[in-house]
Chain A
């Protein structure tokens, strides 16, 4: 299609790939304008580092960043320590990269859509953020998301039951994944999570505000840092409502007022996310978050993932406007039903 940008074409095919392959290890693309480089950067806080300041005195977090990483949210079952050695970390990354590249094997579902290697979509080919952490979760110390409360478990069961009542995934657009529908994608958070591909962010600071633009679906979070009152509980948003302040050189952002329609790890709409951004090097931000949701988990839990500088700029991610995938998938499902009905009719005659 003449009108479609290259970016949109890739976007839609990846959206479809996710919908069809239902895999959690879809590879990532980073920094579209930047030449791919496979340099792995270790994020190690340097005590001596003093971050630059913006002209109005905020610790300067501005620029283009990525959290494209293979560090999993939870610690793998066979690992018992918090940090790998350099050699172990490299081996873990190599294994993860191999799992990704398996998707380019001829005959796999993903291969039907595109060759990851050709499009530079696998994470290890682009600017890449890693750390020696064995898991993003560092509190509790076992690296696992804490157990759910009875209320949390009940909510998960109710959500699963509601999903079954709603019918099959391709019966109605409302049953399809939120990302495929171009409403919101995983990277936007909060908390920020590795989006799988295009895990890129732009941070801009102006008087009284910090803005975090997530490349995926051009999702801009505007964070006031002017000590305004908490938002009224009656207004609920997909990405919640954020309020920020500085503690020394750290930007602290508290987000509440979620609408519960895109629950992070099956949290409730009363979840509170506390994020901490600290510039620890010219090319690295330490990003930590705490999830506080007593109605879902037996305790608050915290995680860290690396955020490293990447080349800009960020392209427009016009997801919905080029979402041919939804219409084609639904039309395909209706066609299948029609054929099945005709076959049934034919065989009964």
Chain B
């Protein structure tokens, strides 16, 4: 696959086995820019900041949004290839402000991750998790609709820029309405179900989740990404994550098919297979 970056290829291959990509060296969680970024992005034909491209996070947020040490693979046979790299965390202030009962549930989730993490089952990733999973995603920008097209599970989000409505029903990826604030694409997403997680450490939310994301160009090939997470059933106050996103600059980069349903069928339904009759 000469068209893919080594990072993305490794990620896809390793993720197919349910393990992490090898990580780049960790830097501390990016501090918020002190002032509005001076960078001015090129414009699309309709005059908006041009965010078109294939982007990917390069951090360990999908393992744990909070700071965490390196840890061995949860599956012995994967050895080092399944080990968990450490990370400084992406949560502003360091800690997710859980309500007491919710914190208990988070710990139960974490203890039973292989059984409960929706990612293990190839379920849709939800928001903001889709953005920092170790797979690329493509932003495809038109005037009315901005598409977020994720390699993982073929997850899709339409961001409505003009014909905006309330969420018609609860869903995994929520219902996104967007607007431009100067250089920044602001995406307001509601209408979630309570089934997706934020990471592999059991961080979770309820169906009261409300996410406001900010995508701000910070150079030709990087974006600042922030997501403010509000969910009064789960958290004592709104909290925020922030990280840079990096453009896939290799020629002919493309989102590949990662139709993982097929990869988890034996896991989900294998026990219901017809048993060979013993003669």
Q: Mark B153-183, 1 if CB is under 8 A from A, else 0.
A: 0111010100101001111110000000000
Chain B facing A: main interface SS = loop
- In the complex where A206-B52, A218-B155, A222-B254 touch, is A315 in contact with B169 (Cβ < 8 A)? yes
By the criterion CB–CB under 8 Å, are A205 and B142 in contact? Answer: yes
Q: Tell me if A57 counts as interface (CB < 8 A to partner B).
A: yes
Task: List A contacts of B118 (CB < 8 A).
Answer: 321
Interface string of A183-225 (1 = CB under 8 A from B): 1100000000000000000101111110101000111101010
Instruction: Mark the stretch among B23-31, B95-103, B239-247, B258-266 that contacts chain A.
Output: B258-266
Query: B279 in the interface, Cβ–Cβ < 8 Å?
Result: no
Interface residues on B, range: 35 or more
Query: Which of B42-50, B72-80, B108-116, B224-232 sits within the interface?
Result: B42-50
Complex interface: chain A residues within 8 A of B168 (CB): 32-33, 313, 315
Please determine whether B273 and A54 come into contact, CB atoms closer than 8 angstroms: no
**Given contacts A313-B158, A327-B272, are A237 and B254 in contact (CB under 8 A)?**
no
Q: Which residues on the B side are within 8 Å of A174 (C-beta)? A: 265
Question: Within the assembled complex, what's the spacing in Å between the Cα atoms of A35 and B129?
Answer: 34
Binary interface profile of A, 292-321, with partner B (CB < 8 Å = 1, else 0)? 000000000000000000001111101011
How many angstroms from the CA of A232 to the CA of B265 in the assembled complex? 28
Encode contact with A along B129-153: 1 for CB under 8 Å, 0 otherwise: 0000000001011111101010000
Query: Is A141 an interface residue, CB under 8 A from the partner?
Result: no
Instruction: Check if B45 sits within 8 Å of A54, measured CB to CB.
Output: yes
Q: Which of B156, B163, B269 contacts A213 (CB 8 A)?
A: B156
User: With A56-B45, A62-B144, A320-B123 in contact, is A237–B261 under 8 Å at CB?
Assistant: no
Query: What is the CA–CA distance of A57 and B144 in the complex, to the nearest angstrom?
Result: 16
Does residue A265 face the partner (Cβ distance < 8 Å to B)? no
CB within 8 Å for A172 and B256 given contacts A3-B193, A55-B46, A181-B261: no
> What residues on B are CB-neighbors of A327 within 8 Å?
268-269, 272
With contacts A208-B52, A222-B149, A333-B274 taken as known, whether A238 is within 8 angstroms of B257 at the C-beta atoms is: yes
Given A183-B262, A232-B1, A321 contacting B172 (CB threshold 8 A): yes
For B123, the chain A residues whose CB sits under 8 A away are 320-321
Assess the A224–B254 pair: CB atoms within 8 A: yes
Verify if B208 is at the interface (C-beta below 8 Å from A): no
The answer, yes or no, to whether A334 is at the interface (CB within 8 Å) is yes
Bound-state CA distance A287–B182 (Å) is: 39
- Assuming the contacts A5-B171, A173-B269, A321-B172, asked whether A207 and B52 have C-beta atoms less than 8 A apart, the reply is yes
CB < 8 Å: which of A172, A183, A320, A321 contacts B273? A172
A138 CB, min distance to chain B CBs, angstroms: 31
Contact present for A222 and B140 (CB under 8 Å)? yes
CB neighbours of A330 from chain B (8 A): 269, 272-273
Q: Given known contacts A62-B144, A228-B251, what 5 new A-B pairs fall within 8 Å (CB)? A: A32-B168, A55-B46, A202-B145, A207-B45, A209-B52
